[in-house]
Each structure stands twice: as structure tokens, then as C-alpha cells.
Structure 1
């Protein structure tokens, strides 16, 4: 099957520090892929580079067969990559509804209204439409951040630490929502995650990186859990 999102031989630097080293990964249509590794290993840097927030010194990025290696971040969003950054980065002084409307700016289909499916995924948001984003709990803010990325109906949803600082009941709701969009809407998912059980349950495929380089990869169902966890332990 042809990859929907493909990273080929990324090399990324901060100044002269070589952070990502010849990293390649791919996400197939309707697939959930998890990028695993300890803190400081280059996971967030990889996602920021995919989004165009950082520039790769070499390597290519394709989305649905088209090169977007030199596209600006807003062009990548409009091409079909929905991004939920670490820390959520919602607009605290905008209402829930206004936050969601901002997400529509990335819609390639010029959609002007918030699609109902995001309320089906996260019903609490419909109840809190007029509430300021900053007044929501951490878990509710994460749901809002994911919904904001989904309103444009992206081809790929990119999530950076979606369970960070979230209470267990909300983690379950987020896992169910991501599974649903993958199965029912065919949206592919690429996530970085520290919560191993969440990643193992949700992802079809995984990549493990250490110091910016790929260590191992494979189907999650065939993962050597002890081997992978040896790289994740501090």
C-alpha cells in the first residue's frame, strides 16, 4: 500500500548540533503509528519538522504522493496535516467555539461550520462552546486541541504527547476518539507518546528512536515489549 505520509532520510540540526539522523518513517492510510523514545531523543523535533516549524537540512517529506518538503507550515496544514502540539497551545482567551473556528482555516474544502462529528467525539465541547478555552480543565483542553485539528478533516492527525498531564478517564476518552476517527473516517495518525500502554493499545506500527536515530520498528502486535521498554526506561 502506498504511504500517505512519508519521511525519508531527515537530518535536522539545532545550530551545529545534529539532532535527527537519517530518520525515515511512513504512515499508511487509516493507520496509527507511534514514535517512541525517551525524553530528549528527537521525537518532538521530528514532528515539528514534519509540520515545517523546523527545517530539515536534508531529506524529503511527501503527503499523499506529493512533495511538501519546502512547504510552509500553513500550506502543510491546508494540504491535510492536522497538528496537536505538546502543551496543546489552545487560545485561552477565545471561546471553545472560536478555537474550533480557527481550525477551519486549514480546510481545503472551504468549510465554514464546525462538523458535527467532532461533537460526537467530544460531547463536552458542545456543552462548553461559549466557555473560554483557558477555563477548561487540562483534559478538556486536550480534547479541544484534538477537535481543533480535526475540524478541517485532515488526512493525517499528528499528536505530540496527547496523554501528558491528563487524568485517566479523559485518556480513555481520547483513545476511543482516536480509534474512532481512524476506523470510521480513515484518518491516519502519527503520535509521540510516553505512556507506553496507550501507545501499545492504539498504534498499529511503531518506530523507536534513540539519539535521533531509528533503533527498531515493527508491527505493534509483534513488538518485543521487553526490548522496547529497555530503551524507554531512565
Structure 2
């Protein structure tokens, strides 16, 4: 199963007010696991960059001046998307911006039902809890200290890990020991909270000569065992 995790950075909050996409980052998942295939591009927005937006993602007009326009990369982007579901954090925002850009160049918009919204997934799974990407990284123990600014590809990589957690891809507390030695004198099977078990060498499956001799001696010392009475009765009959 192929999915594409997607994020965008923009000049503002609403494309209806003339705001544009300035960065697109996406990565491919197959069976919920990253394949290493990515799509990443910075875009010239053909307009000014508000200070509030620049503080979020750090992208300036000087940096974006020589970058391609959206219509110059749209076909490559759509080819990367293919017909895969799009995993997006707050899908309404990114889908609205991408569809505004596609409509501007005369292309059909992306169907909204292709989007898997991880914000909605998180709110359903953890009602009342914060559902931002940073909050979910903290909840799941995903390292994001390097996320000092928003970045479309970086956020897609973090979102892929969050998405795996939201669909139950990793169960906390059920991690197998990375080193077999970790499980030898600690938790059973490497699980946290187990009972310590001392290591014992495996015993052979067959009895030894000494064990067989001990068994014969034990049987010989029994007085009037039931199985011997049954055998004697059978002979008399």
C-alpha cells in the first residue's frame, strides 16, 4: 500500500487573500514504512513575504527569488503523488493551498477525500489533548529538537513517525531487547517490568544412563505395585 506524507509552507493563512505556497515536502510510504523516495522544492511566491510567516519557516524573498514557480514543478509533484492517499497534518490548510495553485494554472484540484488528516486522527484518539505536531512528537517520544523552524520536508519526516504511532505501528512497553544479553538477567523477553530469570544451560532431551539406573532401582524398591498385580492377573487368566 502506497501513501504520501505531505507538508507545505506558505506566505500566510489563506490563499483567497493572495497567499502562496513557498515550499512543498513529501515522502513515500509503502506499507506505512518510508522508502527513502522524497519530493522537495522551494518556490518563488511572486509576492512579498510577511514577517510573521518568515518567523515561522525562515524563508526570505532573497532566498526564494531564484526558485521555480509553482506551475514549473506541478507536473513533477503530481507524478510523485500518483493516486496515493495524502497523509497531512491539518489537511484542510495544505489541500486548500495546493488546490488554489492548481486552479490558478488551470488544473483540476486534488479531491479532498484523498487526504488522511492526522490532526483529526489525534483528536479522535486523544480527545481534549493538544494535537500539534510538536505535541504529538512529545507524546510519542519522537526526537524533534532540531525543528527550530518549520520546514516542509522535515515536518513530513516527523509526521510519518507520528502517523505510524497514530495507527498503532509501535506499542509502548513491548520493545524487544536490542541485545540478547539485555534479556538474560533482566526482564523476560526484553520486556520492561518482567521477572528476572537466571540463565540455565538447556538439559538434554534424553535421560542419561545414571538416570535410567536410578529409575530401575526405585521401581525395584516398591512393594506390590499396582501394574505388577495387573500383569499377574493377566497371566493367571
- TM-score band by shorter chain is under 0.3
Q: Give TM-score, length-normalised by structure 1.
A: 0.26
Q: Give TM-score, length-normalised by structure 2.
A: 0.26
Q: Return the index of the structure with the highest Cα Rg.
A: 2
The structure carrying a bigger strand percent of its residues is: 1
Higher relative contact order (CA 8 A, sep 6+): 1
The structure carrying a bigger helix percent of its residues is: 2
